[in-house]
């Protein structure tokens, strides 16, 4: 009996030790510093090719909440492969990220729109001998999510969306919506339109789309990162807008596809003038982003997107998130980590994790240019 009791106690102790060890590994990641550790999520390839180079210490970054879910994957994989490096990314919105970058508080910023001329001028005070440049890293669709009891398939077009977000269409059974959805029983529920309260590149990209595709209905400045339309309900970040839509019957809002997928929120199909309405998917967003042209000069790779595309299967409400970094004049203590992390993010391996997370990888031709620029940061 004593022997059996000892065996039971030993088994219990070993089980507790195994659980404890698993928790420690989960919390801390791998101690492997060879660049071969880390697997990311269950749907991602092992991070076996990550090059840590001389990266060390803590790297602060901030900006776009659109790329948060992608950044979470990249950070997890990178930190698992590179012991001694901590990447701290704050998803505070594109405007906030650029402000922190131009104040010298972060090693790089994420923005869903390219730097303005005034922001480039400000960056020269921080980037000694250089300036901030735009490096496209993440693409994807801006989903128009909605929550409407009894309706799980909805089509809208740009003019109708413009009127909804400008509080000119206020009921879900409005004739304009009904015309786009024959056979769908639309309730008379009041529309609750949610928008971002913070400065956001996602807001700006939606504004650019509405301005290009529905110029007669959308008269607001498409360059603004702040919400300018009348009415609606404000929420902080893409996560806040998604939570508002998820919790409100009759709601509609805009956020990246990954938020719609994670929260199981239905997304609107967009009537673009193509033969069929287009669904918000990574593949359909890639078709629109692939037509983008580089408008930046030198090492600046800012893109020009075609928001009014009518190409078959091309989802028109897209954004590209840039990592904003100094081409020259980076801080010596963070430069190795900035270069190593961005090298991983734009690598084939880093881009492959995006599709499963609801994002669109950067088109190969553009990605190749980013891979040439990142190693030259100094």
CATH number at residue 260: 3.40.190.10
Task: Give the per-residue pLDDT at 291.
Answer: 87
Which positions ≥6 away from 278 have C-beta within 8 Å? 269, 270, 271, 272, 284, 313, 314, 315, 316
Beta strands in 268-331 (DSSP E): 269-271, 293-294, 303-304, 318-326
Q: Which residues of 10-32 are buried (b: 16+ CB within 10 A; e: fewer)?
A: eeeeeeeeeeeeeeeeeeebbee
Number of domains in the chain: 2
Same domain, 135 and 145: no
Q: Are residues 146 and 135 in the same domain?
A: no
Say if 191 falls within a structural domain: yes
- Kindly state whether residues 209 and 151 are assigned to the same domain: yes
pTM, two decimals, is 0.78
Q: 282 and 148: one domain? A: yes
Domain shared by 153 and 220, yes or no: yes
Q: CA 218: distance to chain centroid?
A: 24
User: Do 370 and 349 belong to one domain?
Assistant: yes
Within a domain: 244: yes
Domain boundary among 249, 266, 289: 289
Best CA proximity match to 276, nearest among 308, 315, 223, 245 = 315
Whole domain around residue 247: which residue ranges?
Answer: 141-289
CB 332: neighbour CB atoms within 10 A? 7
In a shared domain, residues 163 and 237: yes
Position 47 in a domain: no
Distance CA(323)–CA(17), nearest Å, equals 42
One domain, residues 100 and 222: no
Q: Quick check: is 49 in a domain?
A: no
Predicted pLDDT at 48: 61
The span from the CA of 266 to the CA of 249, in Å, is 12
Strands 293-294 and 269-271: unpaired
Residue 246 lies in a domain: yes
Whether residues 236 and 284 share a domain: the answer is yes
193 three-state secondary structure: strand
Per-residue pLDDT of the chain (378 residues; tens, 9 = 90+): 434 434 443 444 334 333 333 333 233 333 333 333 333 333 334 446 899 999 999 999 999 998 999 999 999 999 999 999 999 999 999 999 999 999 999 999 999 999 999 999 999 999 999 999 999 999 999 999 999 999 999 999 999 999 999 999 999 999 999 999 999 999 999 999 999 999 899 999 999 999 999 999 999 999 899 999 989 999 999 999 999 999 999 999 999 998 999 999 999 999 999 999 999 999 999 999 988 999 999 999 999 999 999 999 999 999 999 999 999 999 999 999 999 999 999 999 999 999 888 898 998 999 999 999 999 999
Q: Tell me if 15 is assigned to some domain.
A: no
One domain, residues 130 and 145: no
The last residue of one of the domains, among 289, 313, 331, is: 289
CA diameter of the chain: 87
- Identify whether the C-beta of residue 143 lies closer than 8 Å to the C-beta of residue 260: yes
Q: Is residue 52 part of a domain?
A: no
Cα–Cα distance measured from residue 139 to residue 161, given in angstroms and rounded to the nearest whole number: 22
CA distances for 30 relative to 35, 45, 78, 85, 103, angstroms: 10, 16, 10, 12, 34
Has residue 163 been placed in a domain?
yes
Query: 327 with 188, same domain?
Result: no
Q: Select from 247, 265, 289 the last residue of a domain.
A: 289
Coil, strand, or helix at residue 299?
coil
Is residue 262 located within the same domain as residue 198?
A: yes
SS3 category, 148: coil
């Amino acid at each position: 009996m004593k022997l059996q009791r000892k065996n039971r106690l030993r088994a219990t102790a070993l089980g507790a030790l195994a659980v404890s060890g698993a928790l420690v590994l989960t919390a801390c990641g791998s101690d492997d510093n060879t660049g071969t550790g880390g697997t990311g999520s269950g749907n991602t390839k092992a991070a076996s090719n990550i090059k840590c180079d001389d990266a060390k210490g803590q790297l602060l970054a901030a900006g776009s909440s659109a790329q948060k879910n992608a950044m979470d994957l990249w950070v997890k994989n990178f930190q698992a492969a590179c012991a001694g490096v901590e990447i701290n990314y704050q998803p505070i919105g594109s405007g906030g990220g650029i402000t922190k970058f131009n104040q010298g508080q972060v090693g790089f910023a994420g923005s869903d729109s390219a730097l303005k001329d005034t922001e480039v001028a400000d960056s020269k005070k921080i980037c000694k001998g250089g300036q901030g440049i735009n490096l496209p890293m993440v693409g994807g669709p801006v989903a128009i999510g909605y929550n409407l009891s009894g309706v799980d398939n909805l089509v809208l077009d740009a003019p109708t969306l413009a009127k909804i977000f400008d509080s000119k269409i206020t009921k879900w059974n409005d004739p304009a919506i009904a015309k786009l959805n024959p056979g769908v029983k639309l309730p008379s529920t009041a529309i609750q339109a949610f928008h971002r309260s913070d400065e956001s590149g996602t807001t700006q990209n939606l504004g650019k789309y509405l301005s290009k595709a529905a110029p007669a209905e959308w008269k607001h400045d498409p360059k603004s990162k702040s919400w300018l339309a009348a009415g609606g309900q404000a929420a902080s970040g893409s996560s806040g807008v998604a939570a508002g839509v998820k919790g409100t019957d009759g709601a509609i809002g805009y956020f990246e596809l990954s938020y719609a997928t994670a929260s199981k929120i239905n997304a609107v199909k967009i009537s673009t003038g193509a033969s069929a309405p287009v669904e918000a998917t990574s593949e359909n967003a890639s078709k629109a982003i692939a037509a983008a042209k580089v408008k930046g000069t030198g090492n600046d790779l800012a893109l020009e997107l075609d928001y009014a595309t009518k190409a078959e299967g091309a989802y028109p409400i897209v954004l590209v998130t840039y990592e904003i970094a100094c081409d020259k004049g980076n801080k010596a203590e963070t430069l190795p980590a900035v270069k190593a992390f961005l090298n991983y993010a734009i690598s084939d391996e880093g881009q492959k994790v995006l599709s499963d997370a609801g994002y669109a990888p950067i088109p190969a031709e553009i990605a190749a240019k980013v891979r040439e620029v990142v190693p030259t940061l100094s």
